[in-house]
Amino acid sequence: MNDSISTTVLLIAFSLLLAALILAFTRLLKGPSINDRIAAMDVISIVVMGFILVYSVLINNAMYFDIPIVISLISFIGTVAVSTYLKHKNG
């Protein structure tokens, strides 16, 4: 009984993460400004981290918990780099 409930909750989490990914990707494509697109890229990286963590819980394996840490570091460095570039470009 408990296993079926947890699997259902994880599938609902996958569904909600997929909806968030679609909305963020739409904002990435249609974003009227570059700031919207940068924010959409951050949201996409967060959603990907969520997918990895939910999948890790689903298969009951903690081996994948390190991957979101690396993704978050790369995403942060990328956001700072793009922001610095835009600051100097418009500067």
pLDDT in tens, the chain (91 residues): 467 888 899 999 999 999 999 999 999 999 899 889 999 999 999 999 999 999 999 998 889 999 999 999 999 999 999 989 988 887 6
Place of tokens 């840490």: 69
pTM across the whole model: 0.87
Please report, for the chain, the start and end positions of each structural domain, with discontinuous segments joined by +: 2-90
pLDDT at residue number 1? 45
CA distances from 75 to 3, 26, 59, 86 (A): 34, 19, 26, 16
